[in-house]
Amino acid sequence: MKNNSALKTLYLYNSIFVFAANLIGPLFAVYILKFNNSAITISLTWAIFLTFTTIFTYVFSKFGDRLVEQEYWLLLGFIIRAISWFLYIFAGNIYLIFGIQILLALGEAIGSPAFDTILAKHVDNGLQMSEYSIWKVVSNLSTALAAVVGGIIVNYFGFTTLFLIMFILAIVAFFGILTKPRKLL
């Protein structure tokens, strides 16, 4: 991978995005409690996200390959999820949270398969295990660090600041990919 600029770009900007996404991580349940003090509601918000991610992924799989430059799907997934995180700031009730979960699911269903497709396209022949493993290491470390940093942010500054930071980091990842030459990815 030492000369694989496409993989380095994907690792960098997707790790920023993964970090942003996981700042909320285990804190999402705490956030939901301010709307409804019920374990069932917390579970329902997660189930809505996963169910709609599954439905949207299935629908997306029917036409996603038609776009030659898959990075545009990745960018669309980034921006939809960024907007979703920003909308959490303004959610006034659990029903709005349910709606945001559906929007977030759409971004996930578009962005994650696009990332996987681009990654698969650029993995070097004969180095598949090591290059996928590098991504897993980067992704897991980003996730672990984000869980701790997210807790610190919420503890000292609150959820609004957390969602703003998530939004900003997603926008950084978006523009990081957008400004790269199309031939790179």
* Residue pLDDT, tens place only, 47-93: 999 999 999 999 999 988 888 888 999 999 999 999 999 999 999 99
What pLDDT is attached to residue 1?
A: 59
Exposure class string for 109-148: b at 16+ Cβ within 10 A, else e: bbbbbbbebbbeebbeeeeeeebeebbeebbeebbeebee
Q: Is the pLDDT of residue 182 over 90?
A: no
Burial of 18 (0-12, 13-18, 19+ CB in 10 A): buried
The string of pLDDT tens digits covering residues 150-179 is 999 999 999 999 999 999 999 999 999 999
Determine contact, residues 115/70, Cβ cutoff 8 Å: no
The rounded mean pLDDT for the chain is: 94
Q: Is the pLDDT of residue 2 over 90?
A: no
Determine contact, residues 83/45, Cβ cutoff 8 Å: no
- pTM value is 0.93
CA distance 15 to 5: 15
Q: What domains appear along the chain, each with residue ranges and CATH number?
A: 5-178 (1.20.1250.20)
